[in-house]
């Protein structure tokens, strides 16, 4: 289902909005959110191994993450994130395709809440900084953070050759 409302006005969105029990206000917040906030909302759970290592439950998705689909027709399918559609809050995975009526293979859009991150794209230094910041919030010692980040990079990072294939698919996407 695509979120469509007739009178979307991005001026209606407020960064000072914290939370509300009202479903109407929650929907308004999500629909009117600017793209830089939507990117933070498109996040998924981390696998148990990563979660136990760095003590973080979820992270925003990035192109190049290796994920597993948890719900729906494509349950238990694993693949790389090749495109993130911030406008529609959808994620496209390289192994999740279907044949449309014109007999062309098309990628199936999936919501980020239905995904589990198995390996991370740690090529971006800002993402490592985000992980460090979240670990500091959990009161983990500074020297232990560096050690845990090194373990994360060695055990749960996507390899360079795989990232090259994903970036090629990303360029061809659409």
Q: What is the pLDDT of residue 3?
A: 59
Instruction: Please state which CATH number belongs to domain 43-172.
Output: 2.30.30.30
| Domain assignments of the chain as residue spans, ordered by start | 43-172
**In degrees, to the nearest 5, what angle opens at C-alpha 161 toward C-alphas 119 and 58?**
15
Cα first-last separation, the chain: 20
pLDDT at 4: 56
* Tens place of pLDDT per residue across the chain (174 aa): 555 556 666 677 777 777 889 898 888 888 888 888 999 999 999 999 999 999 999 999 999 999 999 999 999 999 999 999 999 999 999 999 999 999 999 999 999 999 999 999 999 899 999 999 999 999 888 889 999 999 999 999 999 999 999 999 999 886
40 Cβ contact partners less than 8 Å away, ≥ 6 residues apart: 60
Closest by Cα among 111, 123, 130, 109 to 161: 123
- The pLDDT score that the predictor gives to residue 33 is 87
Q: What is the largest CA-CA distance in the chain?
A: 56
């Amino acid at each position: 289902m695509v979120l469509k409302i007739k009178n979307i006005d991005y001026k209606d969105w407020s960064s000072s909005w914290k939370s509300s029990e009202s479903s109407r206000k929650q929907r308004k917040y999500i629909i009117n959110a600017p793209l830089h906030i939507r990117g933070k909302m498109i996040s998924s759970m981390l696998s148990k191994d990563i979660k136990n290592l760095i003590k973080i439950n979820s992270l925003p998705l990035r192109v190049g993450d290796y994920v597993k689909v948890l719900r729906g027709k494509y349950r238990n399918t694993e693949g790389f994130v090749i495109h993130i559609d911030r406008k529609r809050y959808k994620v496209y995975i390289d192994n999740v395709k279907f044949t449309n009526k014109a007999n062309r293979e098309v990628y199936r859009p999936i919501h980020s809440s239905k995904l589990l991150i198995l390996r991370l794209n740690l090529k971006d230094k800002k993402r490592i900084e985000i992980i460090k910041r979240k670990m500091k919030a959990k009161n983990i010692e500074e020297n232990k953070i560096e050690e845990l980040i090194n373990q994360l990079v060695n055990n749960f990072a996507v390899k360079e050759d795989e990232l090259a294939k994903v970036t090629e698919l990303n360029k061809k996407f659409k």
